[in-house]
Chains A and B, each alone.
Chain A
């Protein structure tokens, strides 16, 4: 426990526009910048998914204006096979890195972690500023591949070698497109490493008086655990990207073996290993799944507890479970490689930890369900999204049982079953966490309430729509529908095309429903009902700031002192059925664990 060591990083409120809004050192501004970046990225990613879905439903359909995006990729407005793959690769890369990692982790984490621990900023504000701007540059580099050479890489977000390493002979975008992709992700990794360092130090060293580790809210715990993962996972991906770039520009052969013949030409490489890339990539790739979802678990728990008006069955069990998920996530990555040609004994070795990881996942779900029992649940948009997260996490989680087993994976690997699984559990569930967090924290971030009617409409359309899109993916996978096909030409895939059309219609409608969110976000930012300091009657420190939004140094002149566990609900205090962490009021609590 530390005595407000935050004064070591004191910096005065900036006065110039540039230092206030652009190159800001304020974690709150940086959090909003990350959120803005994620918002732009998610719109781009969703737009690409619309184009892909239209093409998958009606392969030869001319999408009006598509040739403007790429004259070569869409002659006569009809998408070429390679352009489909390029859009697919960009959709996944944008979503995984620049939305699912940035929004729940670095955006909300940046804004709220220092406030929730009672600090006035992160310990390394310059690193923090650099973290965002480096990430922003990474995004620009990635998007630039749309406009240069043969366009973006078509190798999928997994960029399996040697396709990714042989250069443009492998296909359109496999030259410069891959180099830009790898450079972008390498840059992104630097941003995440800097961010993770700040998050870890903030949690360990910047806690205010009385804020023991066990008094941290679950959202803060989830950001802390995620940052530890970020530090280790991105540290592996970054060198892998550098090696991949070297294979392109320096004539090395890290990932390319000898004697490959492409277009009747013997390739000038020898001695590399294609499986090496897969090991490096998935050593990052599986923890990345949890980097995307663990902040969602923390955010959802935080929202849910506030709206249940009671703490979770056990705060500590929830923390231990998130920690167990993080630790196990490094031991399971081989389940992506069951049929990769890796030693089949290794497949079994990776299978068991993958099955074991269902235990902490189940505990997390049971903690939520068991805590709902006997709650006084308040239904608002934030709590609807939090509950929707649980439903999606269950649906996406159970399909993990299949993919954890090498024998079952023989039939499901590389099919839409996998696509359904990860979209539900790390795509939709994580997005629900982001939406929940937005509706919940918007009042604190912008001083105004979001429109609840529009929020609920947005929730209903998204919840039902997401099920209509992603549940049928599992059925397609069971029927053997291979993923990453731009058209379904095999005979046995023909009967599945109507299912794809259903999914396309659902995706277009659900995507359109997101415009309601966008409108609500922008409209409420300027014209929303003014928010009070603590509109949800919540307990954690972000609701104890002297103003809303919080002042530059978060707590004004008065350093907060923490007297209580994070979730003291269901008590009798002078303000109602809760007592805030920073309130010295003594109340009888049944749930004091600290």
Chain B
């Protein structure tokens, strides 16, 4: 039975690794300018974790095979090098691995969070609420009008709580239920939630960021490939959480301008 167990562990380890090696299921193709270091970091981690996984499982299987059900006269033996060798191995191999991943990972993280958006980044506001995203573009004046939470009313389609009668800056704001952005242009996404916690996740864009009620957060990114993508909520927000999604269209500058014009006309 021990030998069968050893073989089972071996087979499970190899079978588990095959879909990873073949990328049967893998990260969606990256369409962002900041995503490459994240992907690289993920692949490096996979290589190091994968080797640790396979090596440990195979050693476990081999030792079970070799050292079980021995005769009564068999003598126990100690691992050469003893505990000290193991502690050193853990510190040197895993410690170095962990340190290297940590240090290199800083760069990938800093890419996303430690640099401010450029001055000509396109500002777009996104508001999360149970169970939809709404987007706001500042219009020709380039300014967002103020939000009045007490006026926010979905039944009246005042999704952002704007007072277009009073606030000059709000008059030309464009509110949409889907997000469109021009390709190769940096976007400065201004995020807030109107009710509970939500999240903004676009796998292809390599962005995931929670909305925190009470806090205004922001993200900046550049999409490099025209196409239709999905924004999904990843923070449990209530019964409609599974269905909280919106489409993201990455257009050429020309298509984007046309889309914005069309949306402005519909306000």
Contact = CB atoms under 8 A, between A and B. Distances in A.
Interface residue tally on A, bucketed by range: 35 or more
Contacts of B93: 362
A405 B199 CA distance: 19
Nearest to B28: A480
Interface string B47-58: 011101100110
A378 B109 contact: no
A488 B242 CA distance: 7
Given A258-B214, A401-B48, A489-B243, A367 B53 contact: no
Given A274-B214, A374-B76, A261 B59 contact: no
Given A341-B210, A367-B86, A408-B38, A379 B69 contact: yes
Interface string A89-121: 000000000000000000000000000000000
Report which residue of B59, B91, B153, B211 has the largest number of chain A beta carbons within 10 angstroms of its beta carbon: B59
A447 interface: no
A275 B212 contact: yes
A376 B74 CA distance: 7
A258 B24 CA distance: 46
Interface string B102-116: 100110110111100
A371 B60 contact: no
Contacts of B102: 351-352, 355, 404-405
B28 A261 contact: no
A85 B53 contact: no
B266 to A, nearest CB: 22
B237 A163 contact: yes
B242 A486 contact: yes
B60 to A, nearest CB: 6
A266 B236 contact: no
A340 B198 CA distance: 10
Given A85-B239, A486-B242, 13 more contacts: A275-B212, A310-B78, A366-B87, A370-B79, A373-B78, A390-B60, A410-B38, A411-B27, A411-B42, A414-B208, A479-B28, A491-B230, A569-B76
26 contacts: A80-B239, A81-B240, A166-B195, A171-B130, A261-B195, A262-B196, A264-B154, A313-B78, A313-B83, A344-B113, A344-B114, A356-B98, A369-B56, A372-B60, A373-B63, A373-B77, A374-B67, A395-B16, A398-B49, A401-B52, A401-B101, A404-B98, A410-B206, A471-B16, A479-B27, A490-B245
Interface of B: 1-2, 5, 8-9, 12, 16, 19-20, 24-28, 37-38, 41-42, 45-46, 48-50, 52-53, 56-57, 59-60, 63-64, 67-70, 74, 76-79, 82-83, 85-87, 89-91, 93-95, 97-99, 101-102, 105-106, 108-109, 111-114, 129-130, 149-150, 152-155, 161, 194-197, 199, 201, 203, 206-215, 217, 230, 232-243, 245
Interface of A: 80-82, 85, 154-156, 160-163, 166, 170-172, 174, 256-262, 264, 266, 272-275, 308-310, 312-314, 317, 339-341, 344, 347-348, 351-352, 355-356, 358-360, 362-363, 365-367, 369-379, 384, 387, 390-391, 394-395, 398-399, 401-402, 404-408, 410-411, 413-415, 456, 463-464, 467, 471, 475-476, 478-480, 482-492, 496, 499, 569-570, 590
